[in-house]
Structure 1
Amino acid sequence: MGFERLGLSEGTLAAVSESGYDEPTPIQAQAIPQVLMGRDVLGIAQTGTGKTASFTLPMIDILAEGRARARMPRSLILEPTRELAAQVADAFEKYGKNHKLTMALLIGGVNFGEQEKLLDRGVDVLIATPGRLLDHFERGKLLLTGIDILVVDEADRMLDMGFIPDVEKICERIPRKHQTLFFSATMPPPIERLTKQFLNDPKQIEVARPASTAQTIDQAVVTVGPRDKRRALRALLTRENIKNGIIFCNRKRDVKEVYASLSRHDFNVGQLHGDMAQPERLSVLQSFKDNKIQLLVASDVAARGLDIADVSHVFNFDVPSHADDYVHRIGRTGRAGREGNAYTIVTKGKDDQRYLKAIETLIGQEIRRDETLGLGDDQGDSATRPAGKTAAKADKAQKSGTSRKPRRRKADDEADAWPEEPVVGLGPNIPAFLARPVKLKNR
């Protein structure tokens, strides 16, 4: 079934065709007719299924009739991150090229004054992150009484980022009857409660079971010692035939450190995390999309919904502590039926093993173990586990009562090693002169 059978206008169909799309994805085929009929929609779909077009395309046709008034947008799309909001804005520009719709993007990192000028002119489509939207609302620069269509996108990500109270405030401030389109990859209890509170007899569309992974992705786990994670990553990057790839870390600090390490080893790499200014983040993303950057080291700010075509590889440098995040991370590859590869670097620590077990339980399958990396048998654990003659010497010393701690192995890339747990204060490395007793003179 082609797009022409979904009820879209000729202008919208022409823009879709010019973008290179012939057939809708399952969620597009099911959602677009329902949205055009004016029904509330509850869409449950994993990332990479094309849900952005499932609401932008029908919204363009619905909003083609009517006129926006100053500070009273006709539709509102809420996104959890600046990048997702900017991506939806790009989709409206691409698919709405044959319609004269006005649009405003309200995200952090951009001057309030420029955004207020757009609102004063009146906009048909307002795309915003919850915090910045409420800032404008509380300043009296925005009215929500003219909203005809409300879209809440990536609702479970909103929950993870703590935005659900803001979303509830916004929904409560839209008094008139309106159409609500609600999309989420998973349905945890707080999200389910929200849908029951603000949706009216919605059409539920589920194109994949919550938290499923695409069958086109080859998933593998590489187990290493805690001090060999960077070496394992470099070995994978060297071994694999990578067109482009995203490397995910759990913390912004680790993003910076892994980026610096790969740069030192001459990889073509960029970084993306929350501490970067918005123009810099957008510039890095564009360079990655344009294949000027081959590898992108990122925090989970990049894990959801970013439309980066044909990513060949995803690497989890850190095992995500929330199993759902694993699904969204590896969903950056294997999109639209393409083949993809996802590698997760796991240490033997209790936390990593617990997180891995939770992931396998969630996705309903055991992830393949890759034991072909060839980092050596000790894989970085020789600092704590002596082997061969060293072990014999340690046993002899222990029996004689002269046991000493084994000498720490000096890795070739010692600058890349860091402890799994953060060091508090000076840790065990307190300088000797600070530990010497101080003799006070009698006064």
Structure 2
Amino acid sequence: MAAGAPRIFVSHLSGIAVFDPAGDQVGRVRDLVVMLRVGRKPPRVLGLVVELTTRRRIFLPMTRVTGIESGQVITTGVLNVRRFEQRPTERLVFGELLDRRVTLTETGEEVTVLDLSVQQLPARRDWEIDKVFVRKGRKGGAFRRNKGETLTVEWSGVSGFSVEEQGQGAENLLATFEQLRPADLANVLHHLSAKRRAEVAAALDDDRLADVLEELPEDDQIEILGKLKEERAADVLEAMDPDDAADLLGELPEADKERLLSLMQPEDAADMRRLMAYEEHTAGGLMTTEPIVLRPDATVADALARIRNPDLSPAHAAQVYVCRPPEETPTGKYLGTVHFQRLLRDPPYTLVGSILDDDLQPLEPDAALPVVAGFFAAYDMVAAPVVDDSGALLGAVTVDDVLDHMLPDDWRETEYHLDETTGTTGEVGADGA
């Protein structure tokens, strides 16, 4: 749903069909999964419980929902078919929030929740509950036609839903730090006790935990991954950038590594194995296998649509790579690169094949880290293609991965981090001083 579109009441989502991009139905919506927050902050919608045609119920993250309209849900087509398991910090809208007795904060009157509305936040892929449809008087079912005045109020206009401030559960810690960037949340996790670190990691959704793991020291990554259920650990690895996930898998004992790879989607596992075949401090070991790849007959409009993806990091969105089909790495012949600044200067109908930057030689997969760093410094690049001897695009290296491998092992503990009490940044040493 585009930003600014009308809100959707959850009663209208019950049982509606879920389709992939090709128009094939994959299942039906059976519930919504939300995470309550401290105080009166609206709950965040994490995803949908979808019942497949096989009757299995799975979890569909909202980040994989591209549209909700005309009584249907459209997905990216990427589904994890493992059976849905509710986590301690999650609440089911139909199963737990509807038909619930809550209190109007303005009058103190008890009312029954009949419906809730959800809305997508502007310029983001996050969704949250914003309105509550309630009935005054005696308790009635969520969709029953009982007597009594009905009204729609803001989420903050009722009490009886949210996590209590004085609690000490992981929910409260998550609510306190929910606005932190992954690197700052990683710093918080690093300084928690092992028990609290495991509790918070278990409560984070897969995408958020994946982002945080990428910013943690190696020992913390291994510790957290080892305390997750194996199926969930595989899900989190799939959500990580392929190069970071491959680095983490490479540090695990062989038996654990193979067990996790066997639980991953075959295409993700294949990417991991391909990356682990390269030495860590080479272009092949540093690269991601998921750059933006376009055919030469794609237009500037197509390219701009791809780099607008909010899930892409700035470095990944800085340029697109033009190749002959297939369009997934390892691709057909690499033809050249188009930088986003060039995309902004040319008309939308221009073919990317006509505006290629093909002057620079791409990196070879066995190029050592100093060679890669020198390439970035010499040509002021933020990302660079990695191409094999046959001319096929294998992936792309980004400047953040180069810096990560060039800095000292303890740089995360000696550089600037967010002050957890004041919200400001400051330099801290390894001893915390």
Give the TM-score taking structure 2 as reference length.
Answer: 0.29
Instruction: From the two aligned structures, give the one with the greater strand fraction.
Output: 2
Structure showing greater radius of gyration is: 1
Give the TM-score taking structure 1 as reference length.
Answer: 0.29
Instruction: From the two aligned structures, give the one with the greater helix fraction.
Output: 1
